[in-house]
Amino acid sequence: MSTVLSPTECRILGSLVEKELTTPDSYPLSLNGLLNACNQKSNRQPVLSLGEDEIIPALDRLRHQGLAMQSRESGRVAKFCHTLREKLHLDEQELAVVAELLLRGAQTPGELRSRADRMARLDSLASTEEILRELIDRDSPLVIKLPRQAGRKENRYMHLLGDEGSLEEGDAAAAQAGRESTGRVELLEGEIAALRRELADLRQEFEAFKQQFC
């Protein structure tokens, strides 16, 4: 996905996914419910204090990008839901891992397993690492493996959906490198597709040329 989301947009999406998976009876969320979810103190890093004047325009941008929508079953009170599952073709475990990264930022596989397990069952550390590999190996990666920091035993992983404004210098550079790599792949894929079209056109022209002598 080429769209780069703001921290507020990331928090909204992570909160919507979390509430869908942990409290489905209260999902989709009203604007007030979404505001409370974004600002809650547990399972959030950093803890934010967003107001409606920040939530509403960010939610409108997400709706414009097709990542969130107003529920068709809203009734009198407008309620909102995410579309990450459909938009990014994520299964429930992948959705939980991405949501945890959106809510807390870069984390180790062990941290992700223990924290995202409340949203979707993650059987083992190995299965969590496999989910991360699948998210990295996509044509348009959703996750990047960060260089190991001094004093840390494990690498951390971060999502590639947001900007780098609040990241440490090394993490921001790694995220930018990941996006640039994805951009190069998309550029090459576009050039290959264009060459294939040109080749197909040349074949048609050659066949038409041969028909003149039959």
Query: pLDDT (tens digit, 9 = 90+) per residue, 10-26?
Result: 999 999 999 999 999 99
Confidence of residue 207 (pLDDT cuts 50, 70, 90): confident
Domain boundary among 22, 53, 88: 88
Chain centroid to CA 121: how far?
A: 19
Residues 113 and 81 in one domain: no
Residues 11 and 57 in one domain: yes
Residue 165 has pLDDT above 80, yes or no: no
Confidence of residue 166 (pLDDT cuts 50, 70, 90): very low
How many domains would you assign to the chain?
2
Residues 77 and 138 in one domain: no
pLDDT value, residue 116: 97
Alpha-helical segments (H) within the chain: 7-22, 31-39, 52-64, 84-88, 92-104, 109-116, 125-136, 169-211
Confidence of residue 72 (pLDDT cuts 50, 70, 90): confident
Tell me the pTM. Answer: 0.77
Residue 154 has pLDDT above 50, yes or no: yes
Residues 83 and 110 in one domain: no
Residues 45 and 115 in one domain: no
Give all strands (DSSP E) within the chain, no chain letters: 29-30, 68-70, 79-82, 143-145, 157-159
At residue 107, what is the residue type?
Q
Does 88 or 197 have the greater pLDDT score?
88
Residues 83 and 5 in one domain: yes
For 74, the 3-state DSSP assignment is coil
Residues 176 and 82 in one domain: no
Q: Compute the distance between CA of residue 106 and CA of residue 35 in angstroms, rounded to an integer.
A: 23
pLDDT value, residue 76: 85
Residues 77 and 98 in one domain: no
CATH code, 104? 1.10.10.10
Domain boundary among 41, 58, 88: 88
pLDDT value, residue 163: 75
Q: Which domain holds residue 166?
A: 91-214
Mean of the pLDDT values across residues 140-149? 93
Residues 26 and 124 in one domain: no
Q: Compute the distance between CA of residue 43 and CA of residue 46 in angstroms, rounded to an integer.
A: 9
Q: Which two tokens stand for residue 2?
A: 């080429």
Residue 206 has pLDDT above 80, yes or no: no
Residues 83 and 111 in one domain: no
pLDDT value, residue 21: 98
Does 78 or 175 have the greater pLDDT score?
78
Mean of the pLDDT values across residues 40-68? 97
Residues of the chain with pLDDT > 90, as a percent, come to 68
Bridge partners, residue 70, by sequence: 80
CB 81 within 8 A of CB 20: yes
CB 97 within 8 A of CB 85: no
User: Mean pLDDT over all residues of the chain?
Assistant: 87
pLDDT tens sequence across 114-143? 999 999 999 999 999 999 999 999 999 999
Domain boundary among 88, 120, 138: 88
Residue 99 has pLDDT above 60, yes or no: yes
Residues 98 and 74 in one domain: no
Residues 80 and 101 in one domain: no
CB 175 within 8 A of CB 167: yes
